[in-house]
A and B are shown apart, each in its own frame.
Chain A
Amino acid sequence: MAKYLLLKHYRHSGPKPVPGTEAMMDQWTPDEITAHIEYMGRFAEKLTESGEYVSGDALSPEGTFVRYDGAGRPPVTDGPFAETKDLIAGWMIIDVESQERAYEAAAELSAAPGAGGRPIHEWLEVRPFLADPGATAE
């Protein structure tokens, strides 16, 4: 089994959105939003039942950059940056048999219904975890 991170973005510098799917969630109707949330909930349940779900979380869009500024000094902060190109909305970690299966799961997540009940065709970023070397790896 291998772990994969499925990253969902509010905005990203990756591939262009599929034409006709650009509307943000707050431009959908309330019922469309409900249908979308229910689909996401069922997706996580299905992966739990198949023994592939590890964890998932959503993030607030507002964030701040922070760094060390020397001993005894308070941290330096910068931001939030309203125009940052990459903005992570949340993630799901799955533990699956193969990369193929990870892609299949990501595609299913990307098929969540959006405006007009049509699949949102959202680009999800799939990142394999770096695992521990196996005990027999030498």
Chain B
Amino acid sequence: MDHDAVNDLMRTLAPQVLGALVRRGADFATAEDAVQESLIEAVHHWPDDPPDDPKAWLLRVAGRKLIDAQRSEAARRRREERVHDEPPPGPAEQSDDTLLLLSRCCHPALSPASAVALTLRAVGGLTTAQIARAFLVPEATMAQRISRAKRTITGERFDTPGDVGAVLHVLYLIFNEGFTGEISLAGEAIRLTRQLAAATSASAGTAGPEIAGLLALMLLHHARRDARRTASGELVPLDQQDRSRWDTDMVAEGVDVLQDALARDRLGQYQAQAAIAALHDDAPTAQETDWSQILQWYDELARLTDNPVVALNRAVAVGQVDGPRAGLAVLNGIDPGLARWDAVAAHLYERADETAEAIRHYTVAADRATSSAERNHLIKQAARLRSHGSRPPA
């Protein structure tokens, strides 16, 4: 077995082994340590002596590490341990523990950043070094973040899979981290959400349509990834993207997943956002976008969530359907303290042919941008209006 094959296999199997241990009642943090130790042994042994059943091998070794850890803990602290007398691992189990593991990693006691890091390691099977590189922090920092997260949830009892909403939010955050680094976090989020959707298709009950909704949302956005940036990394707005570069297979899959979810008649915010993304993906040109349907979905979404970003995007949709003046009237009812408020104002003023106001808002928006790519894009919008605009700046 070569090195890459060992790594791929370990990445797939580690979360399954962890899930099996946790489901038998092992403490999550202790079990995670045991799995990491079993992986280190696997790296040493597998290349020369590959096991017939790698998952059973890992379960056996991790189970042994877990019992060792529990015994030394018990001896040291002389206290009752509920996991102490768990039976040793038997043959590998087949059931999927994705939701069980995710709900531990996304426990409400954890900060979003901690939950994201723990999820990527314990369920995503990424190494601490890979996660650290993805977030541009030193490995020691990421290692601390993960071990603090594990301490935070140590001793928490989990008898039922936790809050699916919290899990979906963490997966959404991972997706939003993007796809530019060595590890595509967006791709990783899709993989995990797909796995969650498959694992819960029969059991998630009322949460099922929202899991599918989130998967659809991710697919329908990720389908545009190649068109979203120029070769030098600059942002390309939706209405200027080369739509021939959109991934039509991914769009088709997203639409299928979404239609199945909507048919179950349990609308939620992810399904509504996915529906908006689908309408954009469906338009052969920006001019053919069905803005009135998009606006209806934003109205629906505004009823489902009080997220201020939704309110801002709805103002853009109103501007498309009823004209920029109507959009500006909606915008004036929204808190101007929001980071993207000026960017939306600039766009609407530009469409209303108020070039000077548009330039002013693009300039303010650039100063308030939260990423270099966004900042550069907004500065260029101001520059474009200055060099081609019909009126000089005030």
Q: A61's closest neighbor in chain B, by CB?
A: B367
Q: How large is the interface on A (under 10, 10 to 19, 20 to 34, 35 or more residues)?
A: 10 to 19
Q: Is the CB of B375 within 8 A of A58?
A: yes
Interface residue? B111 (CB, 8 A): no
Nearest chain B CB to A8 CB, angstrom units: 12
Which among A27, A28, A37, A60 is the interface contact of B232 at CB below 8 angstroms?
A: A37
Number of residues of chain B lying within 8 A (CB) of chain A: 21
Stretch at the interface among B46-54, B247-255, B264-272, B380-388: B380-388
Q: Is the CB of A37 within 8 A of B386?
A: no
Interface residue? A30 (CB, 8 A): yes
Interface residue? A41 (CB, 8 A): yes
From 35 to 61 in chain B, residues with beta carbon under 8 angstroms from any chain A beta carbon are none
Q: Is the CB of A34 within 8 A of B369?
A: no
Q: Is the CB of A30 within 8 A of B383?
A: yes
Q: Which residues of B contact A25 (CB under 8 A)?
A: 379, 383
Nearest chain A CB to B319 CB, angstrom units: 23
Q: Which residues of B contact A105 (CB under 8 A)?
A: none
Q: Is the CB of B370 within 8 A of A33?
A: no
Interface residue? B372 (CB, 8 A): yes
Q: Is the CB of A62 within 8 A of B380?
A: no
Q: Which residues of B contact A58 (CB under 8 A)?
A: 372, 375
Q: Which residues of A contact B337 (CB under 8 A)?
A: none
Which among B362, B366, B367, B383 is the interface contact of A28 at CB below 8 angstroms?
A: B383
Which among B234, B362, B368, B382 is the interface contact of A37 at CB below 8 angstroms?
A: B234
Give the CA-CA distance A28 to B386 in the complex, in Å.
Answer: 8
Q: Which residues of B contact A33 (CB under 8 A)?
A: 376, 379-380, 383
Q: Contacts A34-B234, A37-B232, A37-B376 given; indicate if A29 touches B387 (C-beta within 8 A).
A: yes
Q: B378's closest neighbor in chain A, by CB?
A: A26
Interface residue? A38 (CB, 8 A): yes
Q: Which residues of A contact B386 (CB under 8 A)?
A: 26-27
Nearest chain B CB to A36 CB, angstrom units: 9
Q: Which residues of B contact A26 (CB under 8 A)?
A: 362-363, 366, 379, 382-383, 386
Give the CA-CA distance A128 to B389 in the complex, in Å.
Answer: 45
From 293 to 309 in chain B, residues with beta carbon under 8 angstroms from any chain A beta carbon are none
Interface residue? B233 (CB, 8 A): yes
Which among B232, B368, B387 is the interface contact of A62 at CB below 8 angstroms?
A: B368
**Chain A-chain B contacts (Cβ-Cβ < 8 Å), number:** 45
Q: Chain A 53-93 against B: per-residue CB contact (8 Å), 1 yes, 0 no?
A: 00000101110000000000000000000000000000000
Q: Is the CB of A60 within 8 A of B369?
A: yes
Q: Contacts A37-B376, A41-B233 given; indicate if A30 touches B387 (C-beta within 8 A).
A: yes
Nearest chain A CB to B61 CB, angstrom units: 39
Give the CA-CA distance A33 to B372 in the complex, in Å.
Answer: 13
Q: Is the CB of B368 within 8 A of A29?
A: no
Q: Which residues of A contact B379 (CB under 8 A)?
A: 25-26, 33
Nearest chain B CB to A107 CB, angstrom units: 23
From 1 to 50 in chain A, residues with beta carbon under 8 angstroms from any chain B beta carbon are 25-30, 32-34, 37-38, 41
Give the CA-CA distance A26 to B366 in the complex, in Å.
Answer: 9
Give the CA-CA distance A30 to B362 in the complex, in Å.
Answer: 13
Nearest chain B CB to A11 CB, angstrom units: 13
Give the CA-CA distance A30 to B384 in the complex, in Å.
Answer: 6
Q: Which residues of A contact B383 (CB under 8 A)?
A: 25-30, 32-33
Give the CA-CA distance A32 to B232 in the complex, in Å.
Answer: 14
Q: Which residues of B contact A61 (CB under 8 A)?
A: 367
Q: Chain B 351-383 against A: per-residue CB contact (8 Å), 1 yes, 0 no?
A: 000000000001100111110100110011011
Q: B369's closest neighbor in chain A, by CB?
A: A60
Which among B232, B372, B375 is the interface contact of A38 at CB below 8 angstroms?
A: B232
Q: Contacts A33-B383, A37-B232, A41-B233 given; indicate if A62 touches B367 (C-beta within 8 A).
A: yes
Q: Is the CB of A30 within 8 A of B380?
A: yes
Give the CA-CA distance A79 to B258 in the complex, in Å.
Answer: 47
Nearest chain B CB to A124 CB, angstrom units: 18
Q: Is the CB of B366 within 8 A of A41?
A: no
* Chain A residues with a Cβ under 8 A of chain B: 25-30, 32-34, 37-38, 41, 58, 60-62
Q: A29-B384, A60-B367, A60-B375 are in contact. List 19 more A-B contacts (CB 8 A).
A: A25-B379, A25-B383, A26-B362, A26-B363, A27-B383, A28-B383, A30-B380, A30-B384, A30-B387, A32-B383, A33-B376, A33-B379, A33-B380, A33-B383, A34-B230, A34-B232, A37-B234, A38-B232, A41-B233
User: 18 A–B contact pairs at CB < 8 A?
Assistant: A25-B379, A26-B363, A26-B366, A26-B379, A27-B383, A27-B386, A29-B384, A29-B387, A30-B380, A34-B230, A34-B232, A34-B234, A37-B232, A41-B232, A60-B367, A60-B370, A62-B367, A62-B368
